[in-house]
Chain A
Amino acid sequence: MNEQGYWSIFLDAALINNFVLAYFLGICPFFGVSAKLETATRMGGAATFVMLVASTCAYVINMILEAINAPYLQIISYILVIASTVQLVEMLLRKLSPATFRALGIFLPLITTNCAIFGLALFQTNKGYGFTQAITYALGAGAGFALALVLMAGVREKLDLADVPQLVKGTAAALIVAGVLSMGFMGFAGLGR
């Protein structure tokens, strides 16, 4: 069992080892959905939500796999259970809270098999987090993902108005901005330990 404190887990996932800018997880939605500030915020919320679900699932599956001594089923069972649970939660949400569903709904299927979600499940298992620690880790990772997305969207909205050479427009410009953001996040490295 890992003995790390909650606050340090949260900071570690959100800032120091930010999923997008340090681990390169969830790059696709990071570039795809970060053109507008509003969609970026909602995507961040949806991702945090799915991460919480995935983290819970991964914890339970890991317990079962350890009990039956079948670690080689880890990859396949994680991805299947997470994908189907998110589907289930999506249906529940549509029934119970249509308002939340409208805000997050369209993003849920998009992020189900996102590498950030799957990576979270793997990392928390590798680090040996207990249940509450895993939930904290998921919250931190979600917050970090949302933060990176919102920052990126802010920059890209401004970039739309700037005079960018034809050659650099699009993905190349987004990558350079991401590189600069990532450099900024390196400053948080001192927070750890």
Chain B
Amino acid sequence: MALKKTSPTDEFIKGLWRDNPVFIQVLGMCPALAVSNTAINALAMGAATTFVLVMAGLSVSLMRNFIPREARIVSYICIIATFVTCVDYAIMAISIELHRALGAFIALIVVNCLILGRSEAFASKNNPGRAILDGLGMGVGFTFALFFIGVVREILGSGTLFGVELFPEGFQTWTIFVLPSGGFFAMAGWLLVVNWIRQRQDDAAKQAEETAREAAS
């Protein structure tokens, strides 16, 4: 198993920006769009997904030498489904209101391509410590992305943030942002911002390279 030598902190950091699951890899879009209509829903969904990511990563990594190659996808799905069931019942116990707001989307974490993707691409090839860090990084990156989308949708769509009124009386809320199509627009907006920043970084790197080459010649 040839591994790139990366520092443990790097496994964590990469999920936040360079390989951000939602904005860069465009994985796990369904929950990112569906439950991001308020900031608090987005955070809860992010936390639930992070938990499943970390636990599934840990289990897959611990069992990576026992799972036969042919049956690996099925085994991963079983592991993930187990933890999703835990989360589902835990949320129901903590806050029935939140459970109602998130609805079937908690159960749908099981088919979030992000989790299966990380299990297959990372946890099955690395030791448990790294798998946890990777899961944590990806989970936090996912939560961030959801939170950003959620904040935009809540502020514009209902004029509140975490349920607190932000605007004076006369503010006309953009109801469209609470509705499904607003999710697409908020996500598209953030993608544009991310693309723009990345393009600027690329250009800056290219420019620095050129000046270095000119100085050398």
Interface of A toward B, CB cutoff 8 Å: 21-28, 31, 72-76, 79-80, 83, 113-115, 118-119, 122-123, 126, 166-168, 171-172, 175-176, 178-180, 182-183, 186
Contact = CB atoms under 8 A, between A and B. Distances in A.
A23 B180 CA distance: 7
Interface of B: 26, 29-31, 33-34, 74, 77-78, 81-82, 84-85, 88-89, 104, 107-108, 110-113, 116, 176, 179-185, 187-188, 191-192, 195-196, 199
A186 B179 contact: yes
Contacts of B180: 21-24, 182, 186
B102 to A, nearest CB: 12
A130 B123 CA distance: 41
B30 A76 contact: no
| Pairs A-B, 5 closest by C-beta atoms | A179-B184, A182-B181, A175-B188, A76-B81, A24-B34
Contacts of A83: 74, 77
B90 to A, nearest CB: 12
A74 B113 CA distance: 20
B116 to A, nearest CB: 7
Contact of A126 (B104, B184, B199): B104
A57 B104 CA distance: 18
Nearest to B187: A175
Contacts of B33: 24, 27
A180 B107 contact: no
